[in-house]
Amino acid sequence: MDFLTEGFFQAFHLLISGNAETYSAIWATVKVSSYSIGSSLVIGIPLGFCLGYFDFGGKKPLRTIVDTLMALPTVFIGLLVYAFLSNRGPLGNFGLLFTLPGIAIGQTILSLPIVIGLSATAVEGMDKKLRITIMSMGANRRQLFLSTLWESRHGILAGAIAAYGRVMTEVGISMMVGGNIKWHTRTITTAIALETNKGQFGMGVALGLVLLAIAFGVNVSVSFLRRRG
Amino acid sequence: MDKPICEIHSLKHSYAGKTVLSIEHLTIVPASIVGLIGPNGSGKSSLLRLLGLAERPTKGEIRFNGQPAEPFSDEARFHITLLPQEPFLMKRSVFGNVSYGLKLRGRNKNVDQAVNQALSQVGLPFKDFAHRPWYALSGGEAQRVALAARLVLSPKVLLLDEPTASVDAASAQLIKAAAFRARQQLGTALIVASHDWPWLYEICDETLHLFKGRIFGTGHETMIFGPWRKLESGECGKNLSDNQQLRVSVPSDKDAAAIIDSLTISEDGAATAGGDVILRGTVSRLSLERKTGRIFATVVVGDLPLSVGLTRQQTREQKIFPGKTIFIHYELGQIKWI
């Protein structure tokens, strides 16, 4: 178990010494996860809100589909996105295979159902008295919509964190679509997989701790925002 | 008579196919106070939600200032506001909650001052409460903040659904005073649903009795609910907790409600005071109907509270006071069934 202790020290060393390879993987991870979470929030929150707020025919089956997609295996998404982005695929001309935007597309597909599903749950879980309260204050339809969205922000934020956690920690899409190319598409998780294969457990643990630190930073920031909100 | 500010015409409202409200005609005049009395499930809250334009009636029409009004209608939404029974605050500070309605109206000037004034009306000091988050309030404080959020809007119609049902006595006092002041200072019409009958009798210009979604009287009638059963004597009625029997005429069904609007009292229960039925009870409360000057005595018979209207002279001559034992008389033939 010495490699765990070694990993702790190595993590500090890598971060403090500004190890270029480590920071390249961190930067790639932050960049690609920001792309994917940003796009899935922009697309997913309105869709999730509509799914939770409105009653319409086919809502239940749609909800079941979204809930099922929340458990999509990353390697399956990786396979599909690879197939679409490869030269033989319909999107092959865009040259997105083995690029960070390519990984981001796959991760967006991964996180979108989570954002939609948990946003819908957050909106559905709102107190029924909220609507009457907002309406009785004189809101028009648009104000009712926006105020309800704002009131469900904590639940939506929780969904966003869950989606971010899933995106940050996935390996399958990054490996298959990104190709784990050093200095280019190597993310923290693909680097950990590689280091483990090489028997470099210490380095793997170090990168794992960095990943954990990023997740911790995100959660602390979100908790701070929640307290302020 | 003043032009009505709110009117209801041929209204029917249903939930899942079951009619919960059926009102042919109702008018509310500006600066009036209307009390809604009725048991749980009688339609009081549904009526308030419809008048508050939070729901659209299944059939019929609601008018505000003579114009048809419905949820989100621009003519009415800034002038009618509803305070629901359970306090509900949005996830923001007290200031955010109270100023919310002003923001919806696009008002940016003197917001601090308006919030300060509204909070002080409900007995909450601005400096102590304005920046408290929604979760750091007691039930009574939350209800008062919710009322302040309505008062700050200077509404023309304020609908209060059991405003004092879930708060402590001190909060109830402040809520009652603040609501009454809104009528006095702003000319707001108040429509109040409450089980606090003496309070309603005291402040209301008109009280309406709701039962099974219908308005059937002015609220002063004594209403006794079933179930009814055959007594040993062969008549219908119910046994009271003090071994007296409350006898009634034959009900339309066993769960029908009996309305008795001609109760009289006597000090000795003498048959000469009239009535087929004489019951012994204790005066538990006296209240004044402000508009007519009549006094209403709540007389507890067994465990049943009955309301009896008295003149001032009667009250004085018969020395009616809480705690006094008196007799209630009524005629079986005068019972109405709904």
CATH classification of the domain holding B247: 2.40.50.100
Q: Using CB atoms, pick whichever of A127, A138, A153 lies closest to residue B88.
A: A127
Q: Evaluate whether B226 touches B257 at the Cβ level (below 8 Å).
A: yes
Could you say which of B183, B217, B251 is where a domain stops?
B217
Say whether both B313 and B240 belong to one domain. yes
Give CA torsion, residues A156, A158, A161, A165, to 10 deg. -120
Q: Of A24-38, A78-92, B173-187, where does mean pLDDT reach its minimum?
A: B173-187
The Cα B274–Cα B327 span in angstroms is 11
CATH for the stretch A26-228: 1.10.3720.10
A133 contacts in chain B (CB < 8 Å) = 84, 88, 90, 146
A153 contacts in chain B (CB < 8 Å) = 91
CA B60 to chain CA centroid, Å, is: 23
The Cα A187–Cα A180 span in angstroms is 7
Residue B1 placed within a domain: no
Closest to B31 in 3D by CA, of B1, B73, B10:
B1
pLDDT, mean over chain B? 89
B80-83 sheet: strands from edge to edge: B80-83, B157-161, B189-193, B33-37, B206-211, B214-217
The Cα B93–Cα B133 span in angstroms is 4
Say whether both B161 and B301 belong to one domain. no
Going by pLDDT thresholds of 50, 70 and 90, the confidence category of residue B171 is confident
The predicted pLDDT at position A221 comes to: 81
CA A75 to chain CA centroid, Å, is: 15
Interchain proximity A129–B86, CB inside 8 Å: yes
Q: Angle formed by the axes of helices A141-151 and A153-169, to 10°?
A: 60
Helix (H) or strand (E) holding B295: strand B295-301
Residue B318 placed within a domain: yes
The predicted pLDDT at position B222 comes to: 78
Strands B33-37 and B336-337: unpaired
Q: Evaluate whether B254 touches B227 at the Cβ level (below 8 Å).
A: yes
Interchain proximity A138–B78, CB inside 8 Å: yes
The Cα A63–Cα A123 span in angstroms is 13
pLDDT in tens, A24-82: 998 999 999 999 999 999 999 999 999 999 989 999 999 999 999 999 999 999 999 99
Q: How far is B74 from chain A (nearest CA, A)?
A: 8
Could you say which of B217, B243, B265 is where a domain stops?
B217
B78 contacts in chain A (CB < 8 Å) = 138
The predicted pLDDT at position B256 comes to: 84
Q: Is the pLDDT higher at A112 or at A26?
A: A112
- Does the pLDDT at position B164 exceed 70? yes
Q: Of A2-6, A218-222, B21-25, B163-167, where does mean pLDDT reach its minimum?
A: A2-6
Domain count, chain B: 2
A148 contacts in chain B (CB < 8 Å) = none
Which 3 state secondary structure label does DSSP give B120?
A: helix
- Does the pLDDT at position A227 exceed 80? no
B151 contacts in chain A (CB < 8 Å) = none
- Does the pLDDT at position A1 exceed 70? no
Closest to A129 in 3D by CA, of B52, B283, B319:
B52
Model confidence pTM above 0.80:
no
Report the amino acid identity of residue A205: V
Say whether both B37 and B165 belong to one domain. yes
The Cα B160–Cα B150 span in angstroms is 10
The predicted pLDDT at position B273 comes to: 67
The Cα A110–Cα A189 span in angstroms is 16
Interchain proximity A139–B77, CB inside 8 Å: yes
**DSSP helix, strand, coil percent of chain B (3-state; round to 5):** 25, 35, 40
Domain that holds residue B107: 6-217
Q: How far is A16 from chain B (nearest CA, A)?
A: 41
Identify the CATH number of the domain in which residue B12 sits: 3.40.50.300
Helix (H) or strand (E) holding B14: strand B6-15
Cβ neighbours around A79 below 10 Å, total:
16
Interface test with A, best of B88, B153, B158, B191 (most A CBs within 10 A): B88
Say whether both B226 and B163 belong to one domain. no
Say whether both B160 and B90 belong to one domain. yes
Q: Angle formed by the axes of helices A201-228 and A20-53, to 10°?
A: 40
Mean local confidence (pLDDT), B27-55: 92
The predicted pLDDT at position A218 comes to: 82
Q: Is the peptide bond before A73 cis (omega within 30 degrees of 0)?
A: no
Report the amino acid identity of residue B326: I
Q: Of A72-76, A192-196, B78-82, B152-156, where does mean pLDDT reach its minimum?
A: A192-196
Chain A with chain B: Cβ pairs closer than 8 A: 64
Residue B116: partners with Cβ closer than 8 Å, 6 or more residues away: B126, B130
Interface test with A, best of B74, B83, B104, B153 (most A CBs within 10 A): B104
> What are the structure tokens assigned to B161, written together?
């659904």
Residue B80 placed within a domain: yes
Closest to A208 in 3D by CA, of A176, A172, A171, A182:
A171
Q: How far is A167 from chain B (nearest CA, A)?
A: 29
Interchain proximity A139–B150, CB inside 8 Å: no
Going by pLDDT thresholds of 50, 70 and 90, the confidence category of residue A8 is confident
- Does the pLDDT at position B52 exceed 90? yes
Cβ neighbours around A144 below 10 Å, total:
19
Residue B266's beta-bridge partner residues? B327
Interchain proximity B150–A132, CB inside 8 Å: no
> What is the ipTM metric for this complex?
0.79
The predicted pLDDT at position B1 comes to: 58
Could you say which of B171, B189, B217 is where a domain stops?
B217
Give the residue carrying structure tokens 């092959």. Answer: A92
| Radius of gyration of the CA atoms of chain B, in A | 22
The predicted pLDDT at position B220 comes to: 67
Say whether both B140 and B160 belong to one domain. yes
A138 contacts in chain B (CB < 8 Å) = 77-78, 81, 101, 104-105, 153
